[in-house]
């Protein structure tokens, strides 16, 4: 056993000193920033000026849009005069005395020339026709992915049209708008009877707690596993190609070698995890989210982290042992990577409906358990205890089987040179006497 | 004294190929034991079975009195043919790691590592990374890695290949130093003169089978035929007419003769027939014996690189 520790310590030291560790240190926060930050950041940073033309065939709506744009632009400028959002700068174009096609062509040329960003065509019938054959607004642009302007135009034109229609019915548009205001709603958790006999105040549930915390927890686990498990593949291939494995096998058994490597990896990921969680707590304290942290999640996180590193680590070690060169590993890795990554693509469905048959089923699938069960535990009220126990039994059993199989593959694979084995060879090595 | 290594009818197959075929051999304690044989003849496979890296299909292996070679593993040092060092590790850390894997205490290993680094002329590399070393330096580091846990038995696979003459001497002296300490040394080599000079016993494996095993003296007297270089009046014609002559190679002024009788008796007969100007008995070199055994049939492609 002491040899296993010796190997683990050496692996840990090597990993922590390597450049890959520094990258790993940055990878998870970077991924998080990408996943959560980018949209908010770019949306806020969009301070562009969008010139566009309005061809108003009703002849009455356009001035209201221009006025709405003026208000919008004023709102997008802070008191200090700094812009916080995009400005919309409409220009009314009269299409009278010209064929519709000619107007569109002329405006298209102006968009292509860069003079305009887009143009909007409001058909004359919008004020009267409704239902299935209601006319549609036309929004013409070279940039179909830009959403802010068309969204805003649709909203403002709809509002203007609604005002006209209400006026026609004899209602006051301002009054009508006030009457149609949606009713706000608070989402709250349940109440309990407290020790002094009173009924507790139900806490407000906000989006951060409902989605961000479980998601952050799961993605952090994913990032940690992916920053360490595939590294084991490289380390085994390096030892194999430089014939270090031969020296090592002259001192310890293949199985102990693998256990040492896995333990070293667990050490590295736990250290990284500690750094991330520490950083996360600091950030949460700064942002006043300290109350949102579910402390009970931390032991679960550690447990699933250890299981995942052993499970995926053993898998990548076995693949490394079967390969003779790093480039051979690319093809062999695909199935393993898919197994390691597919749960991530299910996260939103599971988060929105953690008790559905699909969520339960996938979180009980051993290769998805570390991510999805952790996610479900992080979402109140959490899964029933039997599901947690069942998933743990399945995941631990699968991990043990994987570690055993990887040990067998390693024993044969480490001394194989030249030829890269395929999955069938590996299966033969595992089942051989 | 029990032998350091006993192999008893050990066979190892890889698929259809029999790499080692019913091999038996004993390595006495404290000896330097040379393994020779052409490439692909089963040397490394045999060494790996002694190291318990590979398991024999049949027969048994006993190392340092222990049938379970796992138990003996800590007392055996191994230098593989192709060098296995972590490129990113500093030299001293690497040596302590390899030593600790043999169960030695870190402090002991560090002391031993420093002693060897100085002994082999590498005093300033302890904190350098392996990748910064030259080939000769890393080969010496690899040697130290094999002996740093003070093993009782050291197995060196091709320790001298690729070294310049100076480093070769340094490493040879290191091996002799180990012998003085009482360590048993097994090394494989393609360098026949090195084997002749250093080994107490020599073992040759060819196509998985033992073909030679013994001291150089024994091998030369049992395997090789003595040859005689002769310069005699009358030349080859006289020699060919003599009884007891198997073959004559005529070099013009001198002849090389292979005899089936005792050279001394032959000299007496020859001196009675003609004037002998030169008569020299030579023993076959290990090189000659090796080449004779392993000489490839024309279609074979396993040229020994010695």
ipTM value for the complex: 0.76
Three-class DSSP category at B13: strand
CA distance A118 to A426: 60
Tell me how far apart the alpha carbons of residues A393 and A366 are, in angstroms, rounded to a whole number. Answer: 9
CA A110 to chain CA centroid, Å, is: 39
User: A413 vs chain B: nearest CA distance in angstroms?
Assistant: 12
Mutation for testing the B interface, residue in A5, A237, A247, A433 having most B CBs under 10 Å: A247
CB-CB under 8 Å, A252 with B101? yes
Mean local confidence (pLDDT), B139-164: 90
| Distance in angstroms (rounded) separating the CA atoms of residues A268 and A55 | 63
Choosing among A250, A257, A260, A425, which should be mutated to test the B contact, i.e. which has the most B CBs within 10 A? Answer: A250
Sheet with B58-63, edge to edge strand ranges: B17-27, B5-14, B58-63
Interval A385-392 mean pLDDT: 95
Q: Chain-wide mean pLDDT for chain A? A: 86
Question: How high is the pLDDT of residue A427?
Answer: 84
Per CB-CB distance under 8 Å, the chain B contacts of A425 are none
Average pLDDT over residues B249-274: 86
Q: Which of A364, A263, A370 is nearest to A313 (CA)?
A: A263
How far is Cα of residue B34 from the mean position of the Cα atoms in its chain? 3
The predicted structure's pLDDT at residue A41: 61
Question: CATH no. for residue A134?
Answer: 3.40.190
Q: Which H helix or E strand runs over A360?
A: helix A357-364
Query: What confidence tier does A372 reach under pLDDT thresholds 50, 70, 90?
Result: very high
Q: Å from B50 to nearest chain A CA?
A: 10
Looking at residue A17, its pLDDT comes to: 84
Contacts A248 to B, Cβ<8 Å: 84, 101
Residues near A99 by beta carbon (within 8 Å), at least 6 away in sequence: none
Mean pLDDT score of chain B, rounded to an integer?
86
- pLDDT mean over B15-26: 89
**Which is more confidently placed, B111 or A59?**
B111
Residues A169 and A306 in one domain: no
- From B57, which residue of chain A is nearest by alpha-carbon distance? A433
Are A332 and A230 within one domain? yes
Give contacts of B100 with chain A, Cβ < 8 Å. Answer: 3, 6
Quote the DSSP letter at residue A113. T
A128-140 pLDDT, tens digit per residue, is 877 777 788 999 9
Same domain, A10 and A75: no
Look at B103 and A2 and tell me if their CB atoms are within 8 Å: yes
Beta carbon pairs, A and B, within 8 Å: 64
Tell whether A247 and A122 lie within a shared domain: no
Chain A nearest C-alpha distance from B242 (Å): 57
How much of chain A exceeds pLDDT 90, in percent? Answer: 37
User: How far is it, in rounded angstroms, from Cα A399 to Cα A313?
Assistant: 10
CA distance B43 to chain A (A): 15
User: What do you get for the CA distance between the two ends of chain A, in Å?
Assistant: 25
Q: How far is B298 from chain A (nearest CA, A)?
A: 27
pLDDT tens-place string over residues A146-168: 988 999 999 999 989 888 888 88
Chain A residues with beta carbon closer than 8 angstroms to that of B86: 14, 238, 242, 244
Residue at A78 is within a domain: yes
Structure tokens at A137: 């607004």
pLDDT band at A329 (very low <50, low <70, confident <90, very high): confident
Residue A415 has pLDDT above 50, yes or no: yes
pLDDT of B304: 47
Residue listed under structure tokens 């796992």: B70
Q: Is residue A129 part of a domain?
A: yes
Same domain, A165 and A230: no
Residues A64, A118: one domain?
yes
Residue A27: inside a domain = yes
Q: Do A243 and B70 touch (CB under 8 A)?
A: no
**pLDDT more than 90, % of chain B:** 32
| HSE-CB for A245 with a 13 A CA cutoff | 26
In terms of domains, do A230 and A300 share one? yes
What is the tens place of the pLDDT at every residue in A348-366? Answer: 889 889 999 999 999 999 9
pLDDT digits (tens, 9 = 90+) for A240-275: 888 888 888 888 888 999 999 999 999 999 998 898
Superfamily of domain B5-221 in the CATH hierarchy: P-loop containing nucleotide triphosphate hydrolases (3.40.50.300)
* Residue B108, min C-alpha distance to chain A (Å): 15
User: Using one digit for the tens of pLDDT, what is the confidence trace for B39-97?
Assistant: 888 888 898 888 888 888 899 888 988 876 566 788 999 988 777 888 888 999 999 99
Q: Give the neighbor-by-neighbor strand order of the sheet with A118-122.
A: A87-93, A49-56, A118-122, A138-141
Higher pLDDT residue, A16 or A398?
A: A398
What average pLDDT does range A191-207 have in this prediction? 81
B14, B86, B104: which to substitute to probe chain A, counting the most A Cβ within 10 Å? Answer: B86
d(CA B302, CA B39): 7
Distance CA B28, CA A251 (A): 23
> What is the rounded distance in angstroms from the CA atom of residue B79 to the CA atom of residue B183?
15
Helix (H), strand (E) at residue A119: strand A118-122
**Would the CB atoms of A3 and B87 count as touching at under 8 Å?**
no
pLDDT by residue (tens digit) across B103-136? 889 999 999 999 999 999 888 898 999 889 888 8
The reply to whether A226 and A310 lie within a common domain is yes
Note the pLDDT tens digit of each residue in A35-52. Answer: 666 656 655 567 888 999
Any chain A CB within 8 A of the CB of B301?
A: no
The number of folded domains in chain A is 2
Q: Which of A9-18, A288-297, A396-405, B119-128 has the highest mean pLDDT?
A: A396-405
Look at A415 and B98 and tell me if their CB atoms are within 8 Å: no
pLDDT at B41: 87
Please determine, for residue A183, whether its predicted confidence score (pLDDT) is greater than 80. yes
Q: Which of B63, B77, B93, B97 is best to mutate for the A interface (most A CBs within 10 A)?
A: B97
Query: Shortest CB distance from B78 goes to which of A2, A238, A250?
Result: A250
Establish if B97 touches chain A: CB-CB under 8 angstroms: yes
Q: Is residue A203 part of a domain?
A: no
Provide the residue ranges of all domains of chain B, joining segments of one domain with +.
Answer: 5-221, 225-282
Is A107 within 8 Å of A116 (Cβ atoms)?
A: yes
Residue A427: domain span? 2-35+210-431
Contact B53/A at CB under 8 A: yes
Q: Which of B88, B89, B102 sits opposite A251 (nearest CB)?
A: B102
Q: What confidence tier does B303 reach under pLDDT thresholds 50, 70, 90?
A: very low
Nearest to A243 among B80, B87, B100 (CB): B80
Confidence of residue B302 (pLDDT cuts 50, 70, 90): very low
In terms of domains, do A92 and A236 share one? no
CATH topology of domain B225-282: Alpha-Beta Plaits (3.30.70)
Sign of CA dihedral A299, A300, A305, A311: positive
Q: Are residues A171 and A230 in the same domain?
A: no
pLDDT confidence of B306, banded at 50, 70, 90?
very low
Lowest mean pLDDT among A399-413, B87-101, B229-243: B229-243
Among A399-403, A419-423, B13-17, B203-207, name the most confident range: A399-403
Is A421 inside any structural domain?
Answer: yes
The share of chain A scoring above pLDDT 70, in percent, equals 94
Q: Which of B52, B89, B100 sits opposite A6 (nearest CB)?
A: B100
A267 and A395, same domain (yes or no): yes
Give the one of A6, A242, A415 whose C-beta lies nearest to B53's C-beta.
A415
Contacts of A418 in chain B (CB under 8 A): none
Check whether residue A214 and residue A82 sit in a common domain.
no
Chain A residue with minimum CA distance to B103: A3
Taking an 8 Å cut-off on Cβ atoms, the answer to whether A251 and B89 are in contact is no
């Amino acid at each position: 056993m002491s040899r296993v520790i010796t190997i683990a310590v050496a692996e840990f030291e090597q990993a922590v000193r390597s450049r890959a560790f520094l990258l790993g240190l940055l990878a998870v926060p970077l991924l998080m920033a990408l996943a959560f930050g980018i949209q908010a950041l770019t949306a806020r940073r969009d301070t562009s000026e969008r010139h566009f033309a309005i061809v108003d065939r009703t002849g009455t709506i356009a001035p209201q849009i221009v006025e709405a744009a003026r208000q919008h632009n004023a709102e997008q400028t802070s008191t200090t005069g700094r812009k916080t959002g995009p400005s919309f700068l409409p220009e009314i174009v009269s299409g009278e005395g010209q064929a519709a096609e000619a107007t569109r062509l002329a405006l298209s040329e102006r968009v292509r020339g860069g003079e305009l960003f887009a143009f909007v065509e409001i058909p004359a019938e919008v004020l009267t026709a409704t239902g299935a054959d209601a006319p549609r607004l036309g929004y013409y642009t070279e940039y179909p992915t830009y959403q802010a302007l068309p969204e805003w135009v649709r909203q403002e034109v709809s509002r203007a049209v609604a005002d006209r229609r209400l006026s026609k019915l004899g209602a006051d548009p301002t009054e009508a708008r006030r009457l149609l205001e949606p009713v706000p709603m608070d989402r709250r958790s349940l109440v309990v009877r407290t020790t002094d006999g009173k009924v507790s105040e139900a806490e407000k549930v906000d989006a951060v707690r409902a989605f961000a915390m479980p998601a952050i927890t799961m993605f952090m686990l994913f990032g940690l596993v992916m920053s360490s498990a595939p590294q084991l593949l490289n380390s085994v291939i390096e030892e194999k190609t430089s014939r270090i494995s031969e020296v090592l096998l002259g001192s310890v058994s293949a199985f102990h070698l693998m256990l040492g490597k896995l333990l070293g990896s667990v050490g590295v990921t736990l250290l990284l995890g500690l750094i991330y969680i520490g950083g996360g707590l600091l950030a949460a304290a700064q942002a006043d989210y300290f109350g949102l942290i579910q402390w009970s999640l931390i032991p679960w996180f550690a447990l699933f982290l250890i299981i995942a590193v052993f499970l995926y680590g053993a898998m990548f070690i076995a693949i490394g042992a079967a390969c003779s060169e790093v480039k051979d590993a690319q093809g062999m890795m695909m199935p393993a990577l898919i197994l390691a990554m597919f749960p991530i693509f299910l996260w939103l469905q599971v988060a929105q409906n953690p008790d559905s048959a699909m969520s339960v089923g996938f979180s009980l699938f051993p290769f998805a358990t570390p991510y999805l069960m952790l996610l479900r535990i992080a979402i109140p009220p959490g899964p029933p205890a039997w599901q947690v126990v069942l998933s743990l039994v399945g995941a631990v059993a699968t991990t043990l089987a994987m570690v055993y199989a990887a040990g067998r593959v390693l024993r044969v694979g480490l001394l194989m040179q030249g030829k890269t084995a395929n999955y069938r060879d590996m299966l033969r090595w595992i089942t051989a006497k | 004294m029990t032998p350091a290594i006993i192999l008893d009818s050990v066979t190892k197959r890889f698929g259809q190929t029999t790499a080692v075929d019913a091999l038996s051999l004993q390595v006495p304690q404290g000896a330097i034991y040379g393994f020779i044989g052409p490439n692909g003849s089963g040397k490394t496979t045999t060494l790996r079975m002694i190291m318990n890296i590979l398991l024999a299909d049949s027969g048994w292996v006993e190392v340092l009195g222990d049938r379970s070679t796992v138990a003996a593993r800590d007392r055996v040092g191994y230098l593989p043919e192709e060098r296995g060092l972590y490129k990113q590790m500093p030299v001293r850390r690497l040596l302590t790691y390899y030593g600790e894997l043999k169960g030695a205490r870190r402090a002991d290993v560090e002391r031993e590592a420093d002693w060897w680094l100085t002994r082999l002329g590498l005093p300033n590399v302890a904190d350098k990374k392996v990748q910064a070393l030259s080939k000769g330096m890393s080969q010496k580091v690899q040697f130290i890695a094999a002996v740093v846990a003070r093993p009782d038995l050291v197995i060196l696979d091709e320790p001298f290949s690729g070294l310049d003459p100076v480093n070769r001497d340094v490493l040879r002296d290191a091996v002799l130093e180990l012998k003085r300490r009482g360590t048993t040394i097994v090394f494989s080599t393609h360098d026949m003169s090195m084997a002749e000079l250093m080994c107490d016993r020599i073992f040759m494996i060819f196509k998985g089978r033992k073909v030679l095993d013994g001291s150089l003296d024994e091998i030369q007297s049992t395997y090789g035929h003595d040859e005689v270089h002769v310069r005699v009046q009358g030349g080859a014609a006289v020699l060919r007419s003599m009884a007891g002559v198997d073959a004559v190679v005529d070099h013009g002024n001198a002849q090389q003769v292979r005899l089936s009788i005792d050279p001394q008796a032959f000299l007496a007969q020859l001196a009675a027939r003609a004037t002998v100007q030169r008569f020299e008995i030579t023993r076959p070199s290990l090189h000659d014996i090796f080449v004779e055994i392993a000489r490839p049939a024309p279609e074979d492609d396993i040229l020994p690189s010695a």
